[in-house]
Structure 1
Amino acid sequence: MLCWANQYSICCFFDNNAYSSKHHSYEWLVAVGAVKTLSPAEHKLDVLKYFCAEHKDWLFGHIGYDLKNEIEALTSTHTNYIGFPDLFFFQPEIVIQSNANSVSIATLTKDSSEIYSSIVEMPLQKATHLPQPDIQLRTVKWQYIDTVEKLRNHILRGDCYEINYCIEFFAEDAAIEPLHVYEQLIKISPNPFSCFYKLRDKYLLCASPERYIKKTGNTIISQPIKGTIKRNTATEEDENNRQQLLHSEKDRSENVMVVDLVRNDLSKICKDGSVVADELFGIYSFPQVHQMISTVKGELKDDIDFADIIKATFPMGSMTGAPKKRVMELIEQYEHTKRGIFSGAVGYIDPDGDFDFNVVIRSIMYNETNNYLSYQVGSAITFYSNAEDEFEECLLKAKAIEKVLG
């Protein structure tokens, strides 16, 4: 099916990799072709509002991190090497969805039985041997440590409480086969918000463990991650690591800080008194790491639409910090690369107006035209952060991608 979808210039595939959760609506979901597209140059949220109102159908797409510049009147001067637009949505020609025991095909232009046959008969693409990308780190260790100390001084002065600071790994003149790289990434790191997203010559190969926001009926939830510790092959030591994360005062303080930020964001669009932390300090286990995840939910006010929700909650607190506007200014000051689609969100809106969007982390971005490959990682910096430890956490988060790229 992925080989079949990859024939299209625009396609999007989501997979929860069999993680069981009451919050997952589908096992996997794929959309291909574009009947209508949206990628406005300005007044992006206003245009998005009208687009969603006009097209009461499946809509797939992404929100780039730098949509913040419209929401908060900020600016960004760093280079966008990959080139994903700040906002892109499309009404697909074909949508295929899978639940426990069934697969359904919805199409605007073709016969569903023909689509099924073309998928079943699609030959698998054999991987070819390509040179290993020459991966470089744009911010080397001493620069990272120096920046963390500067950020700690900002916190000491009261500029902010917590900031998500990210660094970029990149390769120029990189030749990869995106579909095969994605398959290898998911084999090594099968996470519940994985995504293969193709927008013409730009690819997102995503193994995200984090949900940004989901709406079901009148209920909205967000599930921020703050708190990470590595897995261990020895069962007893792995459980010790899990317990260490659960009881870590540092990670709990970071987590509750972002929970408060999410609660504040949701309170702008939810009914008074309805926003609650449904789960606090939940420990979830993934192939490389244990993560501390909390769930915040609320009941939406009347007449709140998708664009209103994005304006109130984006960018997500787990990828910025607090207070949000000030830390986004500091992120622009101290990071060296435009984040682009990284730390943005990819997702879908269904015909009933419900939606689900991930947080774009643990992802490879690739531009096939200029052969630029990028992946970014980060961690939450507080006054009590140890710069060496934070750098090691960044390397840990990049480990699965390093394995995939050789």
Structure 2
Amino acid sequence: MRIERLGVGGTAADVLRTLAHRAETRGLPPPAGLIGTWFGAAAVIAPSVHAAPHDPRTAFARADGVPTRPTAPDGPMIGGGWIGYRGYPDRSGILPESAGGWTDHVLRLDMAGCWWFESLTEMPCPVDIAEAVLRPELDRQPWRVEWIEPDRDAHRDGVGQCLDAITRGDVYQACVCTRFHGTSWGSPVDFFADAVEKTRPVRAAFVQGDWGAVASLSPELFLSRRAGHVMSSPIKGTLPLTADPAMLRRSVKDVAENVMIVDLVRNDLGQVAEPGSVVVSDLLRVRPAPGVWHLVSTVTAELPGSVDTPGLLDAAFPPASVTGCPKHAARQLLAGWEPHPRGVYCGTVGMHSPIAGMELNVAIRTVEFDATGRVELGVGGGITIDSDPDAEWQECLDKAASIITLTPSRTHPDRTTASRSVLADPVSVPR
């Protein structure tokens, strides 16, 4: 393995844009990237990944094994791995149900603002990749998305059917979703880079292939696994940022919704965890996300070494926060209440490294681009017996607002690219 300290360079969004241009001009597959808080870093970017359609049952499994987690001079190393997505499983959307690919090297932006080149092999950092990091192109390319608002009556009908099912005792809670459709012009990577800069989500992820692209602006952690330790941080409970966040903790509906999903996560992880190891380490914490406040809780567990990635995902996927309780019954009913398939929305996007472990988001606030320019954006919310259909519709609009109102960034005329140099020699890490 190999590590090279590149130094202070461009923003994660600018580096991703520049690597996309590099890949296009060289006829290479496009880059993939994780931006926000991933593996203890501010960004992890694979300069070029052949992200192809994949069997969803084995997505993220290629890196299975016992992570060794070598240490870089500034902290843990990532090196590479399988990066991609797995869509919501119950009905197919406009993209393949799963897609992704392997990379044996990545660029990592640490929390102090320094870029590193890391490789699972002894491969040195190519000069043009270092240039993309240290002197990224700052010209922003135009893009445009024209959105069509979802069918409010269809969503109201779905919420009504859910409330009837709760009254009958068929389910206690379910996440009823709707979908924006649209048409796009320009490159998905430019949309994603601008969106990340403006909304700053903590679990943003981008993957692109011949099939289209996924631009996930998620605030939610689905699973983080380091060897036998696994963590999930479900989100339930939402208010616009203009509201008093203390109202979330006082909301009977939002608190009940979150606690029910926490119990569902505990049950999911309990199927594969060591007996007695499932713990709620943080309950009902109010946190900001793009455009909204959320209630966030955290559940941890210890897994035996016999539980591989397919086994963990069989127990926990799709994420509890986007299904309902009981989970199986809710999934069956939701397929009839929602007029459109969810696609990648409510699935997961992320990366599994053989040395760093696995981190996956919940694919909410996620825009799907097909190869023809069609785009889709799913939004939804948890329905409990206290839900009001009009308030649930407004929650959907609040969640979508930070995305559907996005416009392209403009390059400031006084912005220049400073010349920077590599600040340290490469470091070889023992295998």
Query: Structure 2 counterpart of 1:378, which letter?
Result: G
**Count of residue pairs the alignment pairs up:** 373
Q: Residues of 1 paired with 2:387 and 2:18: CA distance?
A: 46
Matching of residues 304-323 of structure 1 within 5 Å: 304-323=307-326
Q: Residues of 2 paired with 1:37 and 1:244: CA distance?
A: 44
Query: Structure 2 counterpart of 1:30, which letter?
Result: I
Q: Residues of 2 paired with 1:363 and 1:37: CA distance?
A: 19
Check 1:294–1:90 CA distance in 2 against 1; reply closer, same or farther (3 A cut).
same
Match of 1:13 among 24, 29, 33: 33
Q: What SS class does the counterpart of residue 163 from structure 2 fall into?
A: helix
Matching of residues 150-299 of structure 1 within 5 Å: 150-172=161-183, 174-232=184-242, 238=243, 241-299=244-302
Query: Structure 2 counterpart of 1:198, which letter?
Result: Q
Q: Counterpart of 2:125?
A: 112
Alignment deviations for residues 225-274 of structure 1 (CA, whole Å, 9 cap, x no partner): 00011112xxxxx5xx1111112111110000000000000001111111
The farther-off stretch of 144-153 and 157-166 is 144-153
Alignment deviations for residues 200-222 of structure 1 (CA, whole Å, 9 cap, x no partner): 34122221110000012321100
Percent of aligned positions that are identical: 24
Q: Counterpart of 1:73?
A: none
User: Contact 1:11–1:199 at 8 Å: present in 2 too?
Assistant: no
* Distance apart, 1:31 and its partner CA: 1.4
1:376 maps onto 2:378 in alignment = yes
Greater percentage in helix: 1
Consecutive unaligned residues of structure 2, counting only runs of 5 or more, are: 1-14, 68-79, 409-431
Query: Structure 1 counterpart of 2:155, which letter?
Result: Y
Greater percentage in strand: 2
User: Contact 1:32–1:93 at 8 Å: present in 2 too?
Assistant: no
Query: Structure 2 counterpart of 1:32, which letter?
Result: P
TM (normalized to structure 2)? 0.80
Query: Structure 2 counterpart of 1:244, which letter?
Result: M
Alignment deviations for residues 67-106 of structure 1 (CA, whole Å, 9 cap, x no partner): xx5xxxxxx3xx622x1x2223321153111213432213
User: Contact 1:205–1:364 at 8 Å: present in 2 too?
Assistant: yes
Alignment deviations for residues 121-172 of structure 1 (CA, whole Å, 9 cap, x no partner): 55344323x6x5432234x222222221111111111111111111011114
Q: Residues of 1 paired with 2:123 and 2:336: CA distance?
A: 50
Match of 1:390 among 371, 389, 392: 392
Q: Counterpart of 1:58?
A: 81
Q: What SS class does the counterpart of residue 306 from structure 2 fall into?
A: coil
Matching of residues 29-108 of structure 1 within 5 Å: 29-34=44-49, 39-40=54-55, 44-45=56-57, 47=58, 51-53=62-64, 58-66=81-89, 69=90, 76=91, 80-81=93-94, 83=95, 85-101=96-112, 102-107=114-119
Alignment deviations for residues 264-290 of structure 1 (CA, whole Å, 9 cap, x no partner): 000011111110110000111234111
Q: Residues of 1 paired with 2:262 and 2:43: CA distance?
A: 28
Q: Residues of 2 paired with 1:211 and 1:322: CA distance?
A: 19
Q: What SS class does the counterpart of residue 338 from structure 1 fall into?
A: coil
User: Contact 2:160–2:389 at 8 Å: present in 1 too?
Assistant: yes
Q: Counterpart of 1:136?
A: 148
Q: Residues of 2 paired with 1:183 and 1:126: CA distance?
A: 10
* Distance apart, 1:397 and its partner CA: 0.4
Q: Counterpart of 2:417?
A: none
Q: Residues of 2 paired with 1:253 and 1:134: CA distance?
A: 37
Q: Counterpart of 1:72?
A: none
Query: Structure 2 counterpart of 1:194, which letter?
Result: A
Matching of residues 303-382 of structure 1 within 5 Å: 303-352=306-355, 354-367=357-370, 369-382=371-384
User: Contact 2:212–2:369 at 8 Å: present in 1 too?
Assistant: yes
1:127 maps onto 2:141 in alignment = yes
User: Contact 1:189–1:400 at 8 Å: present in 2 too?
Assistant: yes
User: Contact 1:10–1:200 at 8 Å: present in 2 too?
Assistant: no
User: Contact 1:95–1:105 at 8 Å: present in 2 too?
Assistant: yes
RMSD of aligned alpha carbons: 2.5
TM (normalized to structure 1)? 0.85
* Distance apart, 1:118 and its partner CA: 4.6
User: Contact 1:222–1:295 at 8 Å: present in 2 too?
Assistant: yes
